[in-house]
């Protein structure tokens, strides 16, 4: 099992919904950073495409990521952005080789 898990989570807001998506995603940062096993949790926005948001995360292990995904703040955010994004979020895990 990997010592550190990296997660990249992309969200593509519908045009005109960028501020709403930004608000929902920004609200995830503080509680996620306080979770056990969270080493990095940064929200990025593409300067060339204001609809394109991306989380860059680093977690201690898969268990920490799984527990994060089960928190109320994550479940609420996923439900809130559902009608505000073009496509479902693209969330991928990576390990250093």
Report percent pLDDT > 70 for the chain: 98
Q: How confident is the model at residue 61 (pLDDT cuts 50, 70, 90)?
A: very high
Domains of the chain, earliest start first: 5-95 (3.30.70.100)
Sheet holding 38-45, edge to edge: 38-45, 52-59, 5-12, 90-95
- Give the global pTM: 0.92
Average pLDDT (34-58) is 98
Per-residue confidence (pLDDT) for residue 43, from 0 to 100: 98
User: CA angle, corner 32, sides to 26 and 38, nearest 5?
Assistant: 135
């Amino acid at each position: 099992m990997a010592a550190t898990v990296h997660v990249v989570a992309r969200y593509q807001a519908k045009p005109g919904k960028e501020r709403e998506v930004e608000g929902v995603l920004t609200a995830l940062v503080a509680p996620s950073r306080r979770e056990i096993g969270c080493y990095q949790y940064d929200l990025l926005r593409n300067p060339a495409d204001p609809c394109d948001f991306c989380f860059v995360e680093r977690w201690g292990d898969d268990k920490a990521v799984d527990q994060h995904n089960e928190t109320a703040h994550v479940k609420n955010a996923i439900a809130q952005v559902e009608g505000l994004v073009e496509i479902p979020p693209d969330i991928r895990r990576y390990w250093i080789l």
